[in-house]
Amino acid sequence: MNRNRVLVYGYGNPGRQDDGLGPACAERVDSERPPGVVTDSNYQLQVEDALAVSQCDTVIFVDASSTGVEPFSYTELEPSNETTFTTHAVSPSSVLALCRDMYGKSTRAYLLAIRGYGWEFGANLTPAAEKNLEEAHRFLKKKIHELTNAAPRRGPLRARNRSFATSLKIYC
């Protein structure tokens, strides 16, 4: 059976209480080692993450949300060329646009935003955020099963703006 390859990418700062929800969720998925799934985590998304995203059929970005729906929200993402990034961080939609423009790959993407409550220095999640993480993780396990058993998505796209992609490769 040809499975979809899924990347679960958690981002946030585990040293800032609930800001670590993304990496904590990715760590839980990684500990289960589901077939067809790879995980990664970092403090924030960066331009270089477009390469990892290009190597998967689907990416699920996991982040903490300070104002979102309880216990979590799950939304599909589209590529965006908005320059909402700095030299240190980019948005998930910007990573998707870079993936498309630099590598010619249209990767299906979602954002799992888990509601958090505490943002002070500390390595432990708040009890309410821990509960939200449990619910989000249960949901994510079902989604991963659906995605890895679905028919593979269409193949790579041709880069739309070669000069843009080439210039990014030079400066990144």
**Band of pLDDT at residue 88, cut at 50, 70 and 90:** low
- Does residue 1 surpass a pLDDT of 80? no
The per-residue pLDDT for 162 is 41
pLDDT tens-place string over residues 104-155:
999 999 999 999 999 999 999 999 999 999 999 999 999 999 999 876 655 5
Q: What percent of the chain has pLDDT over 90?
A: 77
Q: Rounded to an integer, what distance in angstroms lies between the CA atom of residue 57 and that of residue 37?
A: 10
Q: Taking CA 38 as the corner, what is the angle to CA 37 and CA 44, rounded to the nearest 5 degrees?
A: 135
Decide if 101 contacts 168 (C-beta within 8 A): yes
The per-residue pLDDT for 15 is 96
Domain architecture of the chain: domains with CATH: 6-171 (3.40.50.1450)
Which is nearest to 79 in space by CA: 52, 107, 42, 58? 107
pLDDT tens-place string over residues 37-63:
999 999 999 999 999 999 999 999 999
User: Residue 117 is which amino acid?
Assistant: Y
Decide if 63 contacts 114 (C-beta within 8 A): yes
**Band of pLDDT at residue 29, cut at 50, 70 and 90:** very high
- The alpha carbon of residue 8 and the mean position of all alpha carbons in its chain are separated, in whole angstroms, by 6
- Across 20-34, 110-124, 152-166, least confident range: 152-166
Q: Rounded to an integer, what distance in angstroms lies between the CA atom of residue 112 and that of residue 77?
A: 10
CA distances from 158 to 67, 99, 101, 166 (A): 38, 11, 8, 13
